[in-house]
Chains A and B, each alone.
Chain A
């Protein structure tokens, strides 16, 4: 099934949540794909290495989670603390992978949840809460990267790096293969060196386990764009891991 490009009601809730995503340019906002599959918060990464079949089935919000959310929206502090407990690992991990620095990731996590506290009453349940919260956190992270001058004028630019930054194509003869295990430090280094937009999509999909329709909602891009950027991110990681390996093997 191809993506159906409709603008669902969810867009209003998302806009309210993250009103100033730095890479959004009003006139160029892409229409959001149909993302009618609310996803309940996942407690951690889930398997997603191979087939994605079955990942697009609508997931219902767990009634217990929905109840906590409703209470938190009404200003119940204990319920807000529960929401924090439910989502802190994923939000903190996202921040950590994006900025690569523990102290900064802690500050960003704090800021994301403070923003959540300010805006939670505007969440209308049209999208999955975790998707909405992630969008808010991504906004906080991108603002920070922007402040540090690592920014991006727009996500479009981040997603379409200059040709020399893009992954190499693979039509030539096979040379070095990435056989066996990939070293964690090597992968961390390669991920840290990715252009921001690629890094974001790679972390959201391959590390956090979000589906393309969810990522498309968070980043205001099409599902096809999410797929193609993820593919480019993986190709670029492959290039980086190969060249790291090549330099290690050099006498």
Chain B
């Protein structure tokens, strides 16, 4: 593996990607991406998916009955 991040292969870059993304660094500024459309597209798609998950899956309120059932179960347990 070369020490120059700009000369890294796609395989090398993608092997490091989970750590790069998870570290909070600005991966889009990585030198490999300057010359690699394929990895740039990959990164953009992964970001799109993470963003979509956040926007499309809001948290949901459970129905009131769930709490009522919990309360009755607790009453049963305490008697």
Contact = CB atoms under 8 A, between A and B. Distances in A.
B4 interface: no
Interface string A31-44: 00000000000001
Contacts of A235: 46
Given A89-B60, A202-B53, A234 B70 contact: no
Nearest to A90: B59
B49 A241 contact: yes
Interface string A85-106: 0001110110011000000011
Interface residues of A, number: 60
Contacts of B66: 88, 92, 106, 109-110
A92 B56 contact: no
Contacts of B18: 224, 227-228, 230-232
The main secondary structure of chain B at its interface with chain A is helix
Given A227-B18, A227-B21, A84 B59 contact: no
Contact of A49 (B10, B25, B50): B50
A184 interface: yes
A49 B51 contact: yes
Contacts of B25: 51
Interface in A110-130: 110, 113-114, 117
A173 B60 CA distance: 40
Nearest to B48: A178
Interface in B26-78: 26, 37-39, 41-42, 44-54, 56-63, 65-67, 69-70, 73-74, 77
Contacts of A110: 66, 69-70, 73
B70 A97 contact: no
Contacts of B57: 45, 93, 97, 184, 187-188, 207
A25 interface: no
Contact of B54 (A48, A90, A105): A48
A30 interface: no
Contacts of B38: 170-171, 173-174
